[in-house]
């Protein structure tokens, strides 16, 4: 307001301007007098004039990276009797700001206005068969051209990645693309038998995403707020992806480089990556093939089954390691 009067006083005069503005002419004249005559300043204003050069000096001598806390501590070390809040106020007046470290990208942003499904998983990330429980989540990757986002859809039965997508934005459309890939690859036919679990990110509770789940006959399930354990399996896949690809092969130059690396890793993860020692089969894909084979022993599985001479032990997982009919169909068991 004072600056406005300064700019227009020559053309309109101080009193006419002050009649329009909520300020008395005496207040303006007093401010001008203090500005031109430092002796009329208040004790606080005089103190501020003494401290500002010292603050600017400390800030400049330390690579201009100190915030108010460190500037204040340095001034106290030099013998200044000044409060931290005073340093904060004067640094704000001078437009001085300390450097801020880069912070992780927040991928889960809850939409409080959106209706939220219940948690039907309750941290039990096991399924009796494929296409019974899918889990979804996405993470981010820093590149020279900015952040890119990577979404995965995982089948809980064999921990197989059935859908994925890399995007330059974290909009709902990119996680929906990962879901569409999963639906195209798996084609679940038993409506009502598949549960889709995710966190409470706005992308997964958006209208477009929930409508697509309903259209496909998939029951949505959502964990609680701020608890990664409610989606622990998907978080584990994200962690493996970061450890085995992103952190080992970086820095990343472009979106295309991340997309190609993700493609090759997903192929290796699904088809060649070894399972844990306690799992009888060797890869995620073989585990699903064995499940289908065991549940459908009459569909051209081997010569014994075609001839109707397969023993009863072939119809249960117990007979898996004993029956020669599996050899050749599923190499590596």
Nearest Cα residue to 236 out of 132, 156, 149, 117: 156
Indicate the helix (H) or strand (E) that contains 49.
Answer: helix 43-61
Distance, in Å, from the CA atom of 188 to the CA atom of 186, rounded to the nearest integer, reads 6
pLDDT beneath 70: ranges in the chain? 101-115, 189-192, 226, 274-333
**Could you give the CA distance from residue 134 to residue 164 in angstroms, rounded to a whole number?**
12
Q: Report the distance separating Cα 204 and Cα 209, nearest Å.
A: 6
CA distance 146 to 65: 24
Digit-coded pLDDT (tens) for 133-161: 999 999 999 999 999 999 999 999 988 99
Residue 78 pLDDT: 94
Residue 309: predicted pLDDT: 46
User: Which tokens sit at 286?
Assistant: 């073989």
Q: The whole model's pTM is what?
A: 0.59
pLDDT tens for 69-85 read: 999 999 999 999 999 99
CATH topology of domain 133-271: Nucleotidyltransferase; domain 5 (3.30.420)
Instruction: Give the start-to-end residue ranges of the domains of the chain.
Output: 2-94, 133-271, 284-326
């Amino acid at each position: 307001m004072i600056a406005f009067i300064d700019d227009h006083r020559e053309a309109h005069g101080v009193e006419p301007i002050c009649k329009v503005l909520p300020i008395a002419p005496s207040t303006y004249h007093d401010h001008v007098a203090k500005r031109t005559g430092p002796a009329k300043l208040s004790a606080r204003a005089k103190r501020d004039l003494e401290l500002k050069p010292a603050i600017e000096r400390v800030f400049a001598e330390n690579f201009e990276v100190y915030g108010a806390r460190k500037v204040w501590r340095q001034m106290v070390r030099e013998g200044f009797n000044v409060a931290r809040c005073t340093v904060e106020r004067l640094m704000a007046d001078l437009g001085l700001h300390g450097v801020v470290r880069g912070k992780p990208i927040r991928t889960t942003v809850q939409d409080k206005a959106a209706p939220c499904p219940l948690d039907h998983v309750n941290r039990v990330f096991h399924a009796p068969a494929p296409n019974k429980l899918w889990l979804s989540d996405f993470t981010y990757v820093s590149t020279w051209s900015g952040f890119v986002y990577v979404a995965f859809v995982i089948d809980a039965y064999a921990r197989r990645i059935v859908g994925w997508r890399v995007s330059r934005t974290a909009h709902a459309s990119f996680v929906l693309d990962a879901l569409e890939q999963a639906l195209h690859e798996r084609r679940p036919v038993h409506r009502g038998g598949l549960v889709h679990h995710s966190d409470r990110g706005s992308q997964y509770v958006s209208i477009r995403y929930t409508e697509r789940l309903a259209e496909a006959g998939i029951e949505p399930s959502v964990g609680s707020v701020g608890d990664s354990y409610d989606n622990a399996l998907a978080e584990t896949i994200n962690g493996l992806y970061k450890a085995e690809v992103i952190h080992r092969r970086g820095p990343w130059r472009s979106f295309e480089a991340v997309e190609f690396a993700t493609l090759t890793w997903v192929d290796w993860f699904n088809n060649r990556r070894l399972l844990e020692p306690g799992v009888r089969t060797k890869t995620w894909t073989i585990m699903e093939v064995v499940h289908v084979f065991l549940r459908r022993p009459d569909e051209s599985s081997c010569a014994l089954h075609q001839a109707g001479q397969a023993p009863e032990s072939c119809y249960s997982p117990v007979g898996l390691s004993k029956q020669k009919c599996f050899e050749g169909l599923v190499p590596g068991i």
